[in-house]
């Protein structure tokens, strides 16, 4: 995929791409390109290949494709160019929502049955690091937010 092909096929409007030219019978000129996947991203088919919509939006605006692109607000369907940023894999992982299984709303903050306290962990250079154990959830969250700021996690990361 290259910028010339993207510019010839699509118009960009408010975080979406619309078919300017139809490369197949399924792509109707003027319609929004792509379909949502189970993972929440939008895929667009061009010449029998699938592309993530956010990567095509980036290419359309910047003329190249970086290794990683982050949705700043963590919303996978918000492909406005202002919501996309080029990042490293580490930076991308430092701006993610907590697991849907999280009971605290913060990744790395959980109740330790063994210690009978709140445990706080975070990732630094590929190593899971323990920030400590805390008597209250509020103290644990405060410690997690401090660790996030110390290790350059994005302000949206929880």
Helix H, strand E, coil C: the string for the chain is CCHHHHHHHEEEECCEEEECCCCCCCCCCCCECCEECCCCCEEEEECCEEEEHHHHHHHHHHCCCCCEEEECCCCCCCCCHHHEEEECHHHHHCCCCCCCCCCCCCCCEEEECCCCEEEEEEEECCEEEEEEEECCHHHHHHHHHHHHHHCCCCCCCC
**Is residue 156 situated within a structural domain?**
no
**Is residue 158 situated within a structural domain?**
no
Last residue of a domain, one of 36, 57, 87: 87
9: containing domain: 3-87
What is the rounded CA–CA span in Å between residue 125 and residue 84?
Answer: 24
Q: What percent of the chain has pLDDT over 70?
A: 96
Do 103 and 131 lie in one domain? The reply is yes
Total number of domains in the chain:
2
Do 79 and 97 lie in one domain? The reply is no
Do 97 and 83 lie in one domain? The reply is no
Assign residue 39 the CATH number of its domain: 3.90.75.20
**Is residue 30 situated within a structural domain?**
yes
**Is residue 110 situated within a structural domain?**
yes
What is the rounded CA–CA span in Å between residue 124 and residue 120?
Answer: 13
Q: Are strands 49-52 and 35-36 parallel, antiparallel or unpaired?
A: unpaired
Do 68 and 102 lie in one domain? The reply is no
Q: Which tens digit of pLDDT belongs to each residue from 76-135?
A: 999 999 999 999 888 887 777 777 788 888 888 999 999 999 999 887 777 888 889 999
Q: What is the mean pLDDT of the chain?
A: 89
What is the rounded CA–CA span in Å between residue 115 and residue 105?
Answer: 20
Last residue of a domain, one of 87, 108, 133: 87
Do 72 and 24 lie in one domain? The reply is yes
**Is residue 123 situated within a structural domain?**
yes
Residue 6 reports pLDDT greater than 80: yes
């Amino acid at each position: 995929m290259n910028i010339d092909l993207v510019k010839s096929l699509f118009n960009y409007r408010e975080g979406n791409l619309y078919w300017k030219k139809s490369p197949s019978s399924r792509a109707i000129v003027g319609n929004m390109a792509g379909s949502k996947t189970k993972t929440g991203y939008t895929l667009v088919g061009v010449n029998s290949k699938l592309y993530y919509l956010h990567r095509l939006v980036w290419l359309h605006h910047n003329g190249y494709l970086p290794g990683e692109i982050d949705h700043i607000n963590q919303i996978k369907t918000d492909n406005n160019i202002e919501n996309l940023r080029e990042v490293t894999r580490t930076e991308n992982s430092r701006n993610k929502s907590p697991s849907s299984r999280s009971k605290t709303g913060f990744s790395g903050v959980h109740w330790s049955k063994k210690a009978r306290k709140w445990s706080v962990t975070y990732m630094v250079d590929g190593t899971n690091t323990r920030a400590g154990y805390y008597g209250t959830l509020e103290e644990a969250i405060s410690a997690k937010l401090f660790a996030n700021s110390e290790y350059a996690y994005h302000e949206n990361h929880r």
